[in-house]
Amino acid sequence: MAVGIFDSGLGGLTVLEAAQARLPQVDFLYFGDSANAPYGVRDADDVHKLTRACVESLWARGCDLVILACNTASAAALRRMQEAGVPPGKRVLGVFVPLIEALTERRWGDNSPPREVAVKHVALFATPATVASRAFQRELAFRAIGVDVEAQACGGVVDAIEDGDMILAEALVRSHVDALKRKMPAPEAAILGCTHYPLMDRTFQTALGPDVKVFSQADLVAESLADYLARYPQMAGSGAPGYLTTGDPARVSDRATQFLRRQITFRAA
């Protein structure tokens, strides 16, 4: 059995690692669309088309439940896929839900009117496509009022991470944090709205300062997944675990091994 985890490239490995630590009894099949990464600079229709094709591939491989471990895909494709209809016995879930649950301190099923929450000034760091979608702000507005969200499109960060150039990635993060602070000098919380960004969480925290609470998605998504599978154990699926990529398996394996500091071997999708 295996739960599918999809990302445009390698960023979703942060979610996978947290999920494996939280759910050691569950197998996972990871699918990275590295041949088409990054998604963050593509338009919404393109992201939807690519995401749907990859998710359908995971469904066909026996993954009844697929997690979109990609904020851009969650922002641009998830709602359209759900509205178009999901095959019986299949589910696809995004990564915004656990983040907003944590920020607003209310469960997703809580449909009471929006209310004030403790955090008033939030910095959102995300890809250009996620920022343009305003999906995070839209979902947050259903649950909270009085929250000022300042979004910063972090161009180049995902490309640098995918290329293994962490020095460039760190420099870009510092530059983007500086740009955000010019618009919002004193954020109370920061959302790392891309699953690549936990690889740079220390750089974000250092640049933001110790008084800013940084919300990183991996552990939040893993905990939410554990809760979901406890309620719906049949969604663990029947597929075989492993790592798939649309890119060059040897190159992607090298990058993944570098990121997670353990041997990761990808197969061609």
Tell me what pLDDT residue 190 has: 96
The verdict on 66 and 107 lying in the same domain is no
CA angle 222, 122, 68 (to 5 degrees): 30
Tell me what pLDDT residue 108 has: 56
Decide which of 174, 189, 216 is a domain's last residue. Answer: 216
3-class secondary-structure state, position 6: strand
Helix (H) or strand (E) holding 31: strand 28-32
The verdict on 138 and 177 lying in the same domain is yes
3-state secondary structure 108-176: CCCCCCCEECCCCEEEEEECHHHHHHCHHHHHHHCCEECCEEEEEECCCHHHHHHCCCHHHHHHHHHHH
Contact 242, 267 (CB under 8 A): yes
The verdict on 259 and 202 lying in the same domain is no
The verdict on 101 and 43 lying in the same domain is no
Contact 44, 129 (CB under 8 A): yes
Tell me what pLDDT residue 6 has: 98
pTM of structure: 0.89
| Domain CATH for 105 | 3.40.50.1860
The verdict on 66 and 91 lying in the same domain is yes
Q: For the chain, how many structural domains are there in total? A: 2
Show the low-confidence residues of the chain (pLDDT under 50).
none
Q: Which residues are catalytic?
A: 70, 194
Write out the residue range of the structural domain in which residue 159 sits.
Answer: 97-216
Tell me what pLDDT residue 109 has: 62
Distance of CA 105 to the CA centre of its chain: 19
